[in-house]
Structure 1
Amino acid sequence: MTHPMLEWQEGDVTRSLRWQSESGLRPPKRVVIADDTLNADSAFRLASEGTGLLWRGDFQNARQLLQALTRRIERKPRKTSAIPRESFNLHRQAQSQRARTLGMLLVEVDADYGIGLRRAPDIRLACNEAYGASSGAFVVPLREILGLIGAHEWRRKGVEIAELEARIHPWYGVFSPIRGEYLALIAEAPLPARTLAFDIGTGTGVIAALLARRGVSEVVATDCDARALSCARDNLGRLDLLDRVQIVEADLFPPGRAPLVVCNPPWIPARPNAAIERAIYDPDSAMLRGFLTGLKDHLTPQGEGWLILSDLAEHLELRSREELLQMIADAGLKVVARMDTRPVHARAGDATDPLHEARAREITSLWRLAAA
Structure 2
Amino acid sequence: MVPAVNSFNWRSESDEPAPSRLSPVDDRLTADAALRRVRRGEHLLYTGDFHNAKQLLGAMGRRLPEPPSARSPLEAFRAERRARQLEHETLSRIVVALDRSYRLELKRAPDVAEACRWVWGEPEADTTVVSLKTLLGMLGAAEWRRKGLAVPGLEGKIHPHYGVYLPTRTDYVELLLSITEVKGKKVFDVGTGTGVLSFLLLQRGAASAVATDCDSRAVACARENAERLGLSKRFEVMEGDLFPPGKADLVVSNPPWIPEPPKNRVDRAVFDEDDRFLRGFLEGLTGHLNPGGEGLLLLSDLAVLLGLRSAGWLDEQLARNELVVKWKRSTPARHSKAKDRSDPLHAARSREVTTLYGLSPARP
Whether the TM-score (by the shorter chain) exceeds 0.5 is: yes
- Post-superposition offset of 1:16: 4.6
CA contact (8 A) 2:182 2:205 kept: no
CA contact (8 A) 1:263 1:306 kept: yes
CA contact (8 A) 1:203 1:231 kept: yes
Q: Take 1:252 and 1:15, find their aligned partners in 2: how far apart are those partners?
A: 38
Give the structure 1 partner of residue 82 of structure 2: 93
Q: Secondary structure in 2 aligned to 1:297?
A: helix
Give the structure 1 partner of residue 37 of structure 2: 46
Give the structure 1 partner of residue 149 of structure 2: 159
After superposition, the C-alpha distances for 1:29-76 in whole angstroms (9 at most, x for unaligned) are: 554221111112211222233321111212221111112112222xx3
- Post-superposition offset of 1:99: 0.6
Moved more, 127-136 or 223-232: 223-232
**Cα 1:229/1:14, change in 2 over 3 Å:** closer
Q: Give the letter aligned to residue 54 of structure 1.
A: L
- Post-superposition offset of 1:22: 1.7
Output aligned runs, 1:197-212, within 5 Å.
197-212=187-202
Segments of structure 1 that go 5 or more residues without pairing to the other structure are 1-8
Q: Give the letter aligned to residue 305 of structure 1.
A: G
Q: Take 2:240 and 2:35, find their aligned partners in 1: how far apart are those partners?
A: 44
Segments of structure 2 that go 5 or more residues without pairing to the other structure are none
After superposition, the C-alpha distances for 1:114-138 in whole angstroms (9 at most, x for unaligned) are: 1222222211111110101111122
**Cα 1:10/1:218, change in 2 over 3 Å:** closer
Output aligned runs, 1:130-145, within 5 Å.
130-136=119-125, 137-145=127-135
Give the structure 1 partner of residue 270 of structure 2: 280
The match for 1:343 among 321, 324, 333 is: 333
Say how many residue pairs are matched. 361
Q: Take 2:88 and 2:109, find their aligned partners in 1: how far apart are those partners?
A: 23
Q: Take 1:85 and 1:14, find their aligned partners in 2: how far apart are those partners?
A: 42
TM-score under structure 2 normalisation?
A: 0.94
Q: Take 1:271 and 1:159, find their aligned partners in 2: how far apart are those partners?
A: 29
Asked if 1:56 corresponds to 2:34, the answer is: no
Moved more, 283-292 or 144-153: 144-153
Asked if 1:329 corresponds to 2:311, the answer is: no
Q: Take 2:150 and 2:38, find their aligned partners in 1: how far apart are those partners?
A: 38
CA contact (8 A) 1:308 1:364 kept: yes
* Identical pairs, percent: 45
- Post-superposition offset of 1:77: 3.5
Q: Give the letter aligned to residue 108 of structure 1.
A: A
CA contact (8 A) 2:66 2:83 kept: no
Output aligned runs, 1:46-85, within 5 Å.
46-73=37-64, 76-85=65-74
The match for 2:292 among 302, 305, 316 is: 302
Give the alignment's Cα RMSD to 1 decimal: 1.8
Give the structure 1 partner of residue 118 of structure 2: 129
Q: Take 1:238 and 1:192, find their aligned partners in 2: how far apart are those partners?
A: 22
**Cα 1:305/1:46, change in 2 over 3 Å:** same
CA contact (8 A) 1:84 1:317 kept: yes
- Post-superposition offset of 1:193: 6.1
Asked if 1:169 corresponds to 2:159, the answer is: yes
